[in-house]
Amino acid sequence: MRARGRRRPPDARCRPAGGGVNSVQARARQEHGVERVSAVRVQQEGPVYTVILDRPQRRNAVDRETAEALADAFEAFDVEPTAKVGVLVGEHGSFCAGADLKAVAEGRPNRLEPEGRGPMGPSRMRLSKPVIAAIEGHAVAGGLELALWCDLRVAAEDAILGVFCRRFGVPLIDGGTVRLPRLVGLSRALDLILTGRGVDAQEALQMGLVNRVVPSGTSRAEAERLASSLAEFPQACLRADRASAYEAFDQPMPEALRAEFERGVRVLADESVPGAQRFSAGAGRHGRFG
């Protein structure tokens, strides 16, 4: 599912003119008679758009309102012209503990519908721009599924990832059984899905579940640095190649090759020819970008 049409970012009045750092999801709401502040915040620094999960009392577990706020934030990211790369991060040393099972036990389940937003929020969206997960602590159950939804994953050296919902009889319904085999292969995916065991960052790196392992406490900084580097590339070409890579999973080889070609041809005049001219003038030699 693609993000829905252009809409005003949540609480967009908080955005400073000309960009900079902002927090756009600090909205108070009434829920069951109790006023609460949204557990999702957004900070944009230049082209990097960071979505922050902030529910320390629940280890960043996602209830229905938080799922809606996450989806709102990423829909806003996808239509914000100044935002080129997203980062998803959990505050307070934990990425995300999955769905809020306490809320479920109290009769407040997440959205459970076959179409539209997923139970964890953005898990069914296919955005037009890349998103990087910055993983500290635990990314488990639905939290693992959110990490899998992202394009790249930067994990702290003490991070733990796993299908911890196995022990409670909670199924993977936010893309876990679809994306995990595609990332790590069926055998390794079944090992994680069936046993519910956790894997540390190094094992996750070895199996292709994460892309970078960094010192504890630095995953957000590294993910934002990586996002900044991606934002420096010609964006139409980057997004076209990204879209082709995803669509190739769902198409026979001839159709995938044709789609790749047709999408790539559209960016040749705007980005590839100027890029070739920069190369001819000496840019990018000796492994340098730019």
Domain ranges of the chain: 12-231, 235-287
Radius of gyration of the chain (CA): 19
Q: Which pLDDT score, from 0 to 100, does residue 110 have? A: 85
Give the single-character DSSP code of 25.
-
Beta strand pairing status for 28-31 and 34-37?
Answer: antiparallel
pTM above 0.85, yes or no: no
Using the structure block, give the residue that is written with the tokens 């239509």.
Answer: 79
**Res 114: pLDDT:** 82
- How far, CA to CA in Å, does 208 sit from each of 143, 188, 250? 17, 10, 20
Phi/psi zone of residue 210: left (φ > 0), alpha (ψ -120 to 50 degrees), beta? beta
Q: Tell which CATH classification among 3.40.50.2300, 3.10.420.10, 3.40.462.20, 3.90.226.10 matches the domain 12-231.
A: 3.90.226.10
Compare 23 and 160 and report the one with higher pLDDT: 160
Is it the case that residue 144 has pLDDT exceeding 60?
Answer: yes
- Half-sphere exposure for 196 (CA within 13 Å, toward CB): 11
Reported as a single tens digit per residue, the pLDDT across 109-140 is 788 888 889 999 999 999 999 999 999 999 99
What are 152-210's pLDDT values in tens digits? 999 999 999 999 999 888 899 999 999 999 999 999 999 999 999 999 999 999 999 99
At 221, list the tokens: 């900084």
Please tell me whether residue 97 adopts helix, strand or coil conformation: coil
Dig out the tokens for 148 from the structure.
């899998």
Asked if 155 contacts 265 with a C-beta cutoff of 8 angstroms, the reply is no
Cα gap 256→128, rounded to integer Å: 18
CB atoms within 10 A of CB 51: 24
Residue-wise pLDDT for 222-266, tens only, equals 999 999 999 999 999 999 999 999 998 877 878 877 877 787 778
The answer to whether the beta carbons of residues 156 and 205 sit under 8 Å apart is no
